[in-house]
Structure 1
Amino acid sequence: MAPTPPSSARAPPTVDLTQSDSNSDDWDDVPLDVVAPAAPDDAGSEMDDVDVDGAHNAYAELYDAVPDAGVSTTQESTPAPSLQITFAQPPAKAKRTSTVTTTPRDRKNRLLVHQVHTLAILAATRVRNRWCNDQTLRDTLQDMVPSLLLHKLQAIHPRLEPERRERVRMFESFMTELVSWWHARFHVHARMAAAAAWRQPSQDLWQPAPAPAHTWIDGWCVETPLEREQRHKRETRSKSHTQEVAIFPTGEHASVPTYLRLLPPPEAAASPKQLCAAARRRLGSRETKAILFCALCRSLGIPARLVVSVQVVPSAASKGPARPPPRLSSPSDEEDEMYIEPVDDKAPPTVWVEVYSRPYQHWITVDPVRGFIKPTGVRHMEPLPSQRQNKLLYIAAFEEDGYARDVTARYTRTLHTRIARLRPSVRGQPWWASVAQALHRPQKLDRDAIEDVELEDQTRREPMPTSVGAFKDHPVYVLERHLLRDQVVHPPHRVGTFQGEPVYLRVNVIKLLSARQWYNVGRVVKADEVPLKWARQRVYTTMSKRLEEQTRATSGDEAMEGLFADFQTQLYVPPAVHNGYVPRNAFGNVDLFVPSMLPAGGTHIRHPLAARAAKQLGVSYADAVVGFEFRRFKSLPKMAGVVVPTESAELVQTAVAELEESEARNEAAKAQRRALKNWSRLLTALVVSKRVQDEYGAAPPSAVPTSEERAPQLSTEKRQLCAPEPAPEPTPEPIAETPVPSSEPAEQPARVRGPIVSLEEMVAAEARASSSPVHDTPSPAAPKRRRIVIKRSTPTARRSARFASRERPSYDESDE
């Protein structure tokens, strides 16, 4: 497809469609002089001189065969000079295989590129549709119309011709003459049409092998990294910018990307002003010819649509062999020329026009490129499946107000057979349906409703598929082999045969359920009903699997169950509540899968405290089973409230409310008790912490012994005795001091400050405190004190103590 020039995103103009939205002709309110007649000399019908300016056309060297002024206007298109085609000869060893190895990431990228490409083409068409509303362009095109055609258009009016059938004939005759005049007036240059064609994108970029340098692919040129760097230097000096893109080839292994630069536009038609210039020159591409004809019809007051067949890169990898890519000659090579694949003039275009006939109340297909008008586009606008340049996938028609409609069903007879399979789906949902809904007008006009009926009718008239795979998931036809386990054709009226197999309509396919499944939806099978189909019984739980194995071992056959249709069932009526007693099933519950299964005279109360309230009041009740859930191959019922008699329902609900208040008070009391208990713990911890700080205090940083000073100075026996036990040692309790009586008073040594971890550290700290004199005069010897460390006895500690008493040497307290 030709590159799309950037354009500002503006809101579509608002057009009053009141005149075209009516079941009648709506010509009474249209004045007779709605179209100004042209000059009487009919100067616009003559052939103007054609001038192709090379300064305004980057491909001016390609347009060396411009028609002269004396060329007859009855030709199909301007004859093009002979093309010199040069294919690059690939190396003998570097053969491109037909199979393309793609990874899941490549498939995801292809889908994303497919979606983005589709939206980009629709956006470009919407911009060109807005250009058709330009007033200057309309005035320019209206001045070119001969006065004879304008008088014929004015004559199609209910006041002048009251017969509707005659007005329909006059309108079709006028459109035929207008299309013939425009087809003869505007010429399509072969090379310009080939360079600017909206056609199927090339598949060369999706092959695993990168494209060679100087290859022209859809308006892009492949360049080497060195040429790309040199171009960047030139653009930096000239302060210019060329659009470029880097594409990595598909496959698991990363390689050098393919660098592409955008070539200059082959046709100067990127604005309404340039479209006016193309209309005066009467020369351009096929797409420009269709766009200008759409603007011409709107300038004459005829509702017209700009229709585009989106030529988008396929979402799936191609399986065919890759063709040699075209080469673009380098500046040093004067023999080669750029090869542009020509466009078949007889092939259907990708852009055309639809006009609305007010007398006929239908949209009519107009092909201004090939110069004919048809009431419908089927068999005329659909390309052949063998064409590579044109693939019919999405067709959108843009109206004057900027909205669009999906009209694919009007131009194909294989919408569900072939085209629907080519469209990708996202998460199982058709992606194009959401895009078409976003493009559609929010409010539906009367003519839109008529068109919907027409498109649906054409969809129903789709011919029968020609392959077995096309029948699968077909919305109209179905084969019996493609039916699911719970599907059957009823009534079995066949509409044809395919390879000796009967073909049925999809609308006659109904869904079947077993008696157990019908009971789960509140229906039961009628008496003396014969199953329409027998199928293998489905097993979900361990118990059902055991029963199936038992049946197979007993009879040797598979466990089968009968399937019934909806018309073979009736509504399930449960037993009614009698004398205040709620009937129950074999498990003491009430099956309440659907609301219709509620017993007569009963009320369902969905509250977790309803059973407790009914039990306290002595009211008859039964738990309600609303479904089943399967966990670990077990079927577990889901309970939701109880069923009570209707006369006791109000009393039970009142009791439920009282229980709720009681539960709320209990929860508040529990929360208060937990808070008071937590506060008590906090205050106790604070008191204990305060007493420990007051009693022992915190030693200054300089007084805290280091790890070297804490090293035990005990004997080998003490070290073995004080070795760490396997279990973690609990935090010691406060130490109780027992003074030893002495005959003479002595000065008490300074209290050891700091945390006391073990007996050894305490002894070492007292030794250091006693060895360092506080006063100059020696202090008398302090009496010995016996310190006892109280530890909590645990099973681990007791086992460690027994083990130490058997194997370790005895410990004498006098060693201290």
Structure 2
Amino acid sequence: MHDTNAVASGHASDGLSDADFEDVADTASNAEYTYASIYGAASADSPAAQDEGGVEVHAAPRIQVTIAAPPRKQRTGPTPRDRQNRVLCHKLHVLSILAAARVRNRWCNNVDLRQKLQDAVPTFIINKIHAIHPRLEPERRERVRMFEAVMHELVDWWSRTYFLDQDICSAAAWRQPCMDILAGAQFAPRTRVDGWVVESAGARAARRSKRMEIAIFPPGDGVDVPTYLRLAPPAESCSPRDLLRLADDRVVSRETSAVLFCATCRALGIPARLVVSVQAPSWSSSGATKRQTEPAAESSDASDAPPVRLRSSRAASADARAAVCPHVDLSAPPTVWVEVFSKPFQRWITVDPVRSLVRATGARGMEPIAADRTNKLLYIMAFEEDGYARDVTARYTRTLNTRVARLRMHGRDSEWWPRVVRALHRPQKLDRDAVEDAELADNVGKEPMPTSVAAFKDHPVYALERHLRRDQVIHPAVRIGTFQGTAVYSRANVINVHSARQWYNEGREVKPNEIPLKWVKARTYTLTSKRIEEQAKADGTESQEPLYSYDQTALYVAPPVRNGVVPRNAFGHIDLFVPSMLPAGGAHIPYNGAAKIAKKLNVDYAEATVGFEFRRFASIPRMQGIVVPKEHEKAILAGYWEAEKEAAEAERIKREERAFGHWKRFIVALTVARRLYEQYGGKPLEPVKAQPEVRQLQDKQELLQPPQDEVRQLRDIPEDHVVEPPVADEELRAIPACSSPPTAADTSRIIPLEEFIGEQAPKRRRIVLRRKQ
């Protein structure tokens, strides 16, 4: 629900159908979601599943996402399905805003728009830009000063020329979505919320238009009426033609002013980026309970910015009787701005055309304060003229690893945002990209120390000993600072340690005379370890195990195969947890049936243990193949594949014999059924017109007809053979019992046997039923 005009136009013009977004739009791979239709053609008035919690989205072209939850015990707080829904909404919202920004970045390259904006720029500014050339000014420092002075003059002229409308700015602002709806709050119909208009269920059913619409279900298991939203008419621009019109009117919103300024810089030959701070709903369920009722706090650098010129506000839309979202604070940091590349300085310079700010360092004046609920710094992407984008979040915040990283997706979804960045990043790296990477890395390295104990947890630069896991230790323990009397260490000195058994499972062994770096309580997985722990407690001690680092271990070398004998452990097997544990002179055959072949060839072998499974407090080894001497590997493999071939042939013969037996019983059963009908029916069966279901059976006659050699074998059936109906045949089970003479309705469903199997029917045999003695 954030900048709905941008989202709608992004779907219509560019959308998420490009190949760059295909590998990052898989946002629900680990979640239990049901996608009703994607780009489908469902009707706009289809009823939503009001009795199931979820989110339903329709778009033009239609996008419908239905997330249904099974009935469960009702609860008031958010359910696990609600948390999954919030993660899905967060990802989809981020991708939608990036797609919309990509479209607007493409509009900046419109030839007609560039020509119009270039003609509007004063001539003296253009002349000063052309004067910044090494031939005219050989001094590099002077060219840097001249470029910054020209940018200040261009920004001052822009702020005096283009005016802002407060109503348009509020309607088209790229802000944080309203959390009240996600928390389950209900609004009156025709209320405008973040570019969407609330409507009643009756109005939604009566409307037949194909506008984008959303049905938001409140969290929890209770059966509540969802909030129906439809996309409001565009408040401003949705095509390059609208930008041309706005360039003539010169009354725009804050975001459109940045887009037009970016197009103006590109028209003047200045490399410019369109920078977007993505405003997406919180992926955490705890953010749904927060209400955005307080106005946005003013920025700390608002006093440095000149006053913004406003025009008289226009009339509000007729569809929006009330607006839930607050007015935009034009003195606060923006969500869309511009970066221009200074060729003399070889750096990107931040430019805010609305507040007339030109800063060589982006962090100052562009980062919103933590109390601002309409603007959260999460993801900042800069779109260049060729359509590629870069993640420049590190330039605009000093708390990337402390605060911003916690607001982003983390945990099992921590790799989602890096995949998005890689999809939008330029495949090849330019010289200025390498310089920028070094600059961003330097900004991250200059990040100050956290101001709370909780911020030190999982911090990529600093670490506290209290936050270490069981298998972590600080080595060497060099203190780089203190926080509230506690030693602070570098995260680079935090290493992982394991026990000797764990290192052995990775194919390494502890070096002799090594001192453990850490002692921890032994873990009990099996009954044997539990008995050892109980015995230690009875003796007044505690069972502990030492932990060693990687540097304290060496590669495990297994005893070699000598004189054709494979080394074994105490259980008669050989440990092969990693390929490096294979003994010299041995070969691993990873087939469980190879042991029989080795035994037939009288070759020494040992079963390979490749891991363990823990079930019911017992450690069960997992076996895979055998280890044999290297010189016998080819012979055993040849014998194994030959045995497999013979086994497959035997299975094929058995399957054919089983099929022949079924055919035999089937033909004999049909013969018996025909004779019984003719004997007890009073007259022979006459050919009848096949019914529809019989026609279907006749179509399968070629599949059901047995070969001639099988029919010849059936003629040798003895006369005293007792016939048993085939158990697996469904057609014979449908034959009615012969307790009474068949009627016309019964005989109409029977086909003469000659028509079914032709002239190859066996001769009638006398069936003798013998009673068991």
**Structure 1 stretches of 4+ moved >6 Å:** 240-243, 328-332, 336-340, 684-697, 754-757
Match of 1:203 in 2: 179
Match of 1:9 in 2: 13
Match of 2:328 in 1: 343
TM-score by length of 2: 0.70
Q: 1:556 to 1:151 in 2, by over 3 A?
A: same
**Structure-to-structure mapping, 1:237-256, within 5 angstroms:** 245-256=214-225
Match of 2:308 in 1: none
Aligned residues of 1:329 and 1:338 also touching (Cα < 8 A): no
Distance 1:340 1:486 in 2: 49
Distance 1:589 1:460 in 2: 52
CA-to-aligned-CA distance 1:766-802 (integer Å, 9 cap, x gap): xxxxxxxxxxxxxxxxxxxxxx996325xxxxxxxxx
Distance 1:519 1:473 in 2: 28
Match of 1:129 in 2: 105
Shift of 1:383: 0.6
Which deviates the most, 526-535 or 690-699?
690-699
The one-letter code matched in structure 1 to 2:241 is K
CA-to-aligned-CA distance 1:132-151 (integer Å, 9 cap, x gap): 11111111111122222222
Match of 1:470 in 2: 455
Aligned residues of 1:329 and 1:337 also touching (Cα < 8 A): no
Q: 1:701 to 1:391 in 2, by over 3 A?
A: farther
Distance 1:503 1:150 in 2: 54
Shift of 1:674: 7.3
Match of 1:49 in 2: none
CA-to-aligned-CA distance 1:108-148 (integer Å, 9 cap, x gap): 33333333332222222222212211111111111122222
Q: 1:524 to 1:133 in 2, by over 3 A?
A: same
Unaligned runs of 5+ in 2: 19-74, 296-313, 685-719, 723-735, 740-767
Q: Does 1:159 align with 2:132?
A: no
The one-letter code matched in structure 1 to 2:126 is L
Shift of 1:488: 0.5
Q: 1:700 to 1:391 in 2, by over 3 A?
A: same
Q: 1:673 to 1:414 in 2, by over 3 A?
A: closer
Q: 1:399 to 1:653 in 2, by over 3 A?
A: same
Match of 1:365 in 2: 350
The one-letter code matched in structure 1 to 2:222 is H
Q: 1:394 to 1:674 in 2, by over 3 A?
A: closer
Match of 2:438 in 1: 453
Aligned residues of 1:101 and 1:250 also touching (Cα < 8 A): yes
Distance 1:339 1:678 in 2: 74
Shift of 1:352: 0.5
Match of 2:38 in 1: none
Shift of 1:221: 4.3
Match of 2:649 in 1: 668
Q: Does 1:792 align with 2:769?
A: no
Aligned residues of 2:597 and 2:639 also touching (Cα < 8 A): no
**Structure-to-structure mapping, 1:219-238, within 5 angstroms:** 219-222=195-198, 228=203
Distance 2:666 2:336 in 1: 86
Q: 1:688 to 1:224 in 2, by over 3 A?
A: closer
Aligned residues of 2:215 and 2:229 also touching (Cα < 8 A): yes
Shift of 1:154: 1.6
- Which of 302, 310, 329 is equivalent to 2:270? 302
Match of 1:180 in 2: 156
Distance 2:181 2:416 in 1: 24
Shift of 1:365: 0.9
Match of 2:243 in 1: 275
Aligned residues of 1:100 and 1:319 also touching (Cα < 8 A): no
Aligned residues of 1:180 and 1:372 also touching (Cα < 8 A): no
Sequence identity, in percent? Answer: 53
Q: Does 1:700 align with 2:668?
A: no
Match of 1:289 in 2: 257
- Which of 112, 118, 128 is equivalent to 1:142? 118
SS class of match (2:614): strand
The one-letter code matched in structure 1 to 2:293 is R
Distance 2:737 2:14 in 1: 79
TM-score by length of 1: 0.67
Distance 2:325 2:637 in 1: 84
The one-letter code matched in structure 1 to 2:627 is V
Match of 2:491 in 1: 506
SS class of match (2:133): coil
Q: 1:472 to 1:677 in 2, by over 3 A?
A: closer
CA-to-aligned-CA distance 1:490-509 (integer Å, 9 cap, x gap): 11112222222212222211
SS class of match (1:637): strand
**Structure-to-structure mapping, 1:249-268, within 5 angstroms:** 249-260=218-229, 262-267=231-236
Q: 1:204 to 1:644 in 2, by over 3 A?
A: closer
Q: 1:157 to 1:542 in 2, by over 3 A?
A: same
The one-letter code matched in structure 1 to 2:83 is R
The one-letter code matched in structure 2 to 1:657 is A
Aligned residues of 2:190 and 2:322 also touching (Cα < 8 A): no
The one-letter code matched in structure 2 to 1:254 is V
Distance 2:676 2:238 in 1: 93
Distance 1:430 1:479 in 2: 25
Shift of 1:4: 0.4
SS class of match (2:341): strand
Shift of 1:379: 2.6
Figure out how many residues of one structure are paired with residues of the other and give that number: 615
Distance 1:250 1:404 in 2: 35
Aligned residues of 1:214 and 1:330 also touching (Cα < 8 A): no
Distance 2:94 2:663 in 1: 69
Which deviates the most, 465-474 or 628-637?
628-637
Q: 1:504 to 1:660 in 2, by over 3 A?
A: same
Distance 1:246 1:689 in 2: 61
Aligned residues of 1:204 and 1:211 also touching (Cα < 8 A): no
- Which of 463, 480, 503 is equivalent to 1:495? 480
Distance 1:351 1:697 in 2: 91
Aligned residues of 2:474 and 2:494 also touching (Cα < 8 A): yes
- Which of 371, 377, 386 is equivalent to 1:392? 377
SS class of match (1:179): helix
Distance 1:591 1:669 in 2: 35
> What is the root-mean-square deviation in Å for CA atoms of aligned residues?
4.0
Match of 1:780 in 2: none
SS class of match (2:679): coil
Aligned residues of 2:496 and 2:549 also touching (Cα < 8 A): yes
Aligned residues of 1:100 and 1:207 also touching (Cα < 8 A): no
Aligned residues of 2:363 and 2:398 also touching (Cα < 8 A): yes
**Structure-to-structure mapping, 1:652-667, within 5 angstroms:** 652-658=633-639, 660-661=641-642, 664-665=645-646
Aligned residues of 1:734 and 1:790 also touching (Cα < 8 A): no
SS class of match (1:9): helix
Distance 1:673 1:195 in 2: 76
Q: 1:579 to 1:340 in 2, by over 3 A?
A: closer
Match of 1:567 in 2: 551
SS class of match (2:265): helix
Match of 1:764 in 2: none
Match of 1:599 in 2: 583
Q: 1:601 to 1:126 in 2, by over 3 A?
A: closer
Whose Rg is larger?
1
The one-letter code matched in structure 2 to 1:371 is S
The one-letter code matched in structure 2 to 1:253 is G
Distance 2:100 2:672 in 1: 84
Aligned residues of 1:290 and 1:351 also touching (Cα < 8 A): yes
Q: 1:393 to 1:659 in 2, by over 3 A?
A: closer
Shift of 1:453: 2.7
Match of 1:627 in 2: 611
Aligned residues of 2:14 and 2:100 also touching (Cα < 8 A): no
Shift of 1:329: 12
CA-to-aligned-CA distance 1:363-401 (integer Å, 9 cap, x gap): 111111111211121132001111222221221111112
Match of 1:323 in 2: 293
SS class of match (1:274): helix
SS class of match (1:513): coil
Shift of 1:296: 0.7
- Which of 369, 374, 382 is equivalent to 2:367? 382
